[in-house]
Chains A and B, each alone.
Chain A
Amino acid sequence: EAGVTQSPTHLIKTRGQQVTLRCSPISGHTSVYWYQQALGLGLQFLLWYDEGEERNRGNFPPRFSGRQFPNYSSELNVNALELEDSALYLCASSSWFSPTDTQYFGPGTRLTVL
Chain B
Amino acid sequence: GDSVTQMEGPVTLSEEAFLTINCTYTATGYPSLFWYVQYPGEGLQLLLKATKADDKGSNKGFEATYRKETTSFHLEKGSVQVSDSAVYFCALSNTGNQFYFGTGTSLTVIP
Residues of A that sit less than 8 Å from B by CB: 4, 31, 33, 35, 41-43, 45, 48, 50, 55-56, 90, 92, 94, 99-108
Question: Is B62 part of the contact surface with A, judged by Cβ < 8 Å?
Answer: no
Known contacts A42-B104, A43-B89; is-contact A102 B43 (Cβ 8 Å): no
Tell me if B89 and A42 are in contact (CB < 8 A): yes
Residues of B that sit less than 8 Å from A by CB: 31-32, 34, 36, 42-46, 49, 89, 93-104
Known contacts A100-B93, A102-B34; is-contact A56 B98 (Cβ 8 Å): yes
Tell me if B89 and A106 are in contact (CB < 8 A): no
Q: Given the complex, which residues of B lie within 8 Å of A45, measured CB to CB?
A: 98-101
* CB nearest to A44 among chain B residues: B101
* CB nearest to B98 among chain A residues: A56
Most central of B45, B46, B101 by chain A CB within 10 Å: B101
Q: Given the complex, which residues of A lie within 8 Å of B46, measured CB to CB?
A: 102-104
Contact of B97 among A35, A99, A104 (CB under 8 A): A99
Q: Given the complex, which residues of A lie within 8 Å of B43, measured CB to CB?
A: 4, 90, 105-108
Tell me if B103 and A103 are in contact (CB < 8 A): no
